Structure 1
Amino acid sequence: MADDPQWEAPEGSWASSAARRRNMQAIRSRDTKPEWLIRRLVHAQGLRYRVSARPLPDLRRTADMVFRPAKVAIFVDGCYWHGCPEHYVPPKTNSGYWSEKVVRNMQRDRDTNQRLKEAGWLVLRFWEHEPSGTCADIIAATVLTRRADSRNP
């Protein structure tokens, strides 16, 4: 298979080599270190949430953390995959494919934000390089405020 030196990518495959395929398969889509650190700090502040959940059942997208009653969806975006203006570096190999992938991710992020906003949700997005403590404090303050506001209409 991919470990076999004779392995060749199927025609039309995103894997340009066996090594690239292994590398891409190892990338986590959830439970990344930045997500884990932020979740741990938010949990320590006494808040409970859903992990990798769909805020809206009919929207095929998952948020990293979901606070359903407060209608707050949290996304911790990776600098490469979501096109961080500070840290994104265009790929040197197969740049057309990967650059287009990042652009599609950014478009999907904007669409997700809009759809959730239209449904009454608040979306908070953080970059993976942002300090976890700062992110956790913003999340906690936002969720607590939204909870208090919903109790006092």
Structure 2
Amino acid sequence: MIMISTDTTALAKPRTKPSPPENKWRTGAQERAYRTRLLEALRAAGDRRASGPRAVKEAADSALALTARGQSRWSRAVLLRRRSRLLVRAGGRIRRRKRPRRRPVGPTPGRGQPEGKKVRDRLRALGRLVPGCENLSTASLLEEAADYVGALEMQVKAMRTLADDL
């Protein structure tokens, strides 16, 4: 009599750690798309009266957020800020709902936790640096910050290429 094993563990592939996702900002297609949008935005900024450094920064940020297609929190924040400025310029009114600030409930951190306070302060500062990420959890903030840094690296590379071509 022949015994057939139903144990599939021997046939299963060995488990390996999944490789970290490749940075989407390092692809040539993303850089080309950004460069095209940046040139269009800079041309449009040059047509307006105020074409100083601030207009160049706004054009670069908008092009970067459009290239991200609003898939990240920081890109949506940049696009929303741009939209609200356009509405204000056009004479529109932006209604903002004021939410009361919540105070943390529970024990307040005492003197026994100076390292925890230092980390919290640095995370809060990082949240202020990344657009739209002021009130995120640590994991989400670090993920958004990593995506934003990758986007900024690509932006610098594209701007250097553009400056070299001029």
Q: Same fold (TM over 0.5)?
A: no
Structure with greater helix share of residues: 2
Q: TM-score, normalised to structure 2's length?
A: 0.26
Larger relative CO (CA 8 A, sep 6+): 1 or 2?
2
TM-score, normalised to structure 1, is 0.28
Greater fraction strand? 1
* Larger Rg over CA atoms: 2
